[in-house]
């Protein structure tokens, strides 16, 4: 049977080639699972669109029969709330295309290993569960705002008349957008503000600004001011993600708004979350001490995982506020430095699985890394060539990854055996505890 190839796009600068050796996938659910695993999109909700050759535009994919070999498929992400029926009809749900109940059960079994990881974020309702969506999904506005926008869009379609929003309408739009933005970030970047403003005028063209090159520069500026005011409101309510930057928390003699501003890095979703309901710093410290005792018990991984989950916000506060040394932090949280908990903590902070994300990025940049290796000379070049020999003898993805990782260690003047030895020591300790 001939292989079936697809080009998958899931961002402005992310695309990947997928090959189905058994031909066209049996269902849309199978295709979704393949894309989810190969592109490292576990834990995210999305629908698929394909390039329609008649209209030369992306259309919602409702059946794999719409696809042909070497087609282009685009991933459209949903927010945690937009996966409801108001934004995502049943025909776009990945499980809506199972050919039978047996096939659905099989797919559920395949994803059961990921379910426990996804549960990491479930115990704390304050933890964010989604990355910044691309493209940005607008929230549903209040009834009166939506009614005015519908009338404005109708007038724009009929006679090209733009809508000049009154202060109440503009305030209603900006309030809803600010509340939606804060679900993902308290401090969006300039480009992310552009994403929101662009999505607004794209869905409601009557709001497009005349005389503006982009058509939304004024909305973008208004959004920045609105979110700054919204952060001030959250600061008064004690939201830790913004109170950490309050003037009263600045060091003595450093009472400048710009000094030591603490903001999430690019990949951090849960930067400084609030404590779980009913928990305080004192109760969390007590749980941390209990965790030290629980960690020493055998066959106690599930209890340790739950306690690590419950104390996640406490650890983040410690990291953000105190910036402890690694040695001190390790002595306080020894369970965090086990292989399983490293993966779990990465998911708590970024909502992404560490291993599959790392391997997908390694595969993405493998050709570039090989080009970099060839430019190295001398003894290092010879050592890299020696570790690359198995890749030419056994052309599997696992062998290629192993060779590239070893070559990268040598390129960085490190010993590949040290990397493997550290991994083996971790595995031995893990099995010993079992």
Beta bridge partners of 47: 76
Residue from 333, 326, 322 nearest 284 by CA: 333
Cα-Cα-Cα-Cα dihedral sign, residues 4, 365, 38, 129: negative
CB 83 within 8 A of CB 8: no
Structural domains of the chain, with CATH: 4-110 (3.10.20.90), 143-237 (no CATH), 281-348 (no CATH), 354-433 (no CATH)
Per-residue pLDDT at 105: 38
Q: Against a cut of 0.75, is the pTM above it?
A: no
What's the rounded Cα separation, in Å, for the pair 391 and 371? 15
| Peptide linkage before 27 cis (omega within 30 of 0) | no
Distances (CA, A) of 239 to 110, 275, 312: 39, 10, 16
Per-residue pLDDT at 117: 41
pLDDT in tens, the chain (434 residues): 577 888 888 876 678 888 887 777 777 877 888 888 777 776 677 888 888 877 777 888 887 778 888 888 888 887 543 433 333 333 333 333 333 333 333 333 333 334 344 343 433 345 787 888 888 989 989 999 999 999 999 999 999 999 999 999 999 999 999 999 999 999 999 999 999 999 999 999 999 998 888 999 999 999 999 999 999 999 999 999 999 988 887 877 777 877 888 889 888 999 999 999 899 999 999 999 999 999 999 888 899 999 999 999 999 999 999 899 999 999 999 999 988 899 899 999 988 888 888 888 899 999 999 999 998 889 999 999 999 999 888 778 888 998 999 999 999 998 888 775 555 555 544 444 44
For 50, phi then psi, to 5°, come to: -120, 155
Measured from the Cβ of residue 65, the count of other Cβ atoms closer than 10 Å reads: 9
Distance, C-alpha 316 to centroid of its chain: 18
Beta bridge partners of 49: 60, 74
Distance, C-alpha 263 to centroid of its chain: 17
What's the rounded Cα separation, in Å, for the pair 419 and 415? 7
């Amino acid at each position: 049977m001939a292989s079936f190839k697809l080009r998958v796009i899931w961002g402005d600068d992310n695309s990947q080639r997928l090959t189905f050796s058994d031909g066209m996938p049996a269902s849309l659910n199978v295709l979704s699972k393949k894309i989810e695993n190969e592109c490292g999109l576990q834990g995210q909700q999305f629908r698929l669109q394909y390039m329609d050759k008649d209209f030369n535009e992306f259309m919602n994919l409702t059946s794999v029969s719409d696809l042909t070999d070497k087609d282009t498929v685009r991933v459209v992400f949903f927010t945690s709330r937009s996966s409801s029926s108001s934004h995502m009809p049943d025909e776009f749900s990945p499980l809506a295309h199972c050919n039978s109940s047996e096939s659905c059960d099989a797919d559920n079994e395949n994803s059961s290993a990921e379910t426990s990881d996804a549960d990491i974020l479930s115990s704390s309702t304050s933890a964010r569960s989604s990355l910044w969506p691309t493209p940005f999904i607008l929230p549903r506005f209040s009834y009166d705002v939506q009614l005015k926008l519908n009338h404005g869009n109708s007038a724009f379609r009929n006679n090209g008349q733009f809508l000049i929003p009154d202060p109440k309408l503009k305030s209603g739009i900006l309030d809803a957008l600010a509340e939606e933005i804060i679900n993902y970030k308290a401090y969006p970047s300039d480009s992310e503000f552009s994403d929101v403003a662009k999505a607004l005028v794209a869905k409601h063209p009557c709001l497009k600004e005349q005389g503006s090159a982009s058509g939304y520069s004024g909305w973008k500026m208004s959004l920045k001011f609105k979110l700054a005011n919204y952060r001030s409101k959250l600061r008064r309510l004690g939201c830790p993600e913004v109170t950490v930057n309050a003037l009263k928390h600045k060091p003595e003699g450093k009472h400048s708004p710009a000094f030591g501003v603490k903001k999430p890095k690019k990949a951090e979703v849960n930067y400084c979350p609030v404590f779980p309901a009913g928990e305080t710093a004192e109760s969390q410290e007590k749980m941390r001490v209990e965790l030290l005792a629980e960690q020493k018990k055998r066959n106690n991984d599930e209890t340790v995982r739950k306690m690590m989950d419950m104390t996640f916000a406490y650890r983040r506060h410690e990291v953000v506020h105190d910036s402890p040394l690694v040695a001190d932090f390790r002595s306080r949280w020894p369970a965090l430095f086990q292989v399983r908990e490293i993966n779990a903590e990465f998911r708590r902070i970024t909502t992404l699985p560490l291993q599959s994300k790392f391997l997908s990025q390694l595969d993405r940049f493998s050709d570039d890394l090989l080009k970099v290796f060839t430019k190295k000379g001398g003894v290092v070049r010879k050592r890299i060539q020696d570790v690359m020999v198995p890749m030419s003898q056994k052309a599997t993805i696992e062998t290629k990854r192993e060779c590239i990782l070893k070559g990268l260690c040598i390129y960085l003047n490190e010993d590949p055996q040290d990397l493997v030895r550290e991994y083996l020591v971790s595995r031995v300790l893990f099995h010993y505890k079992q």
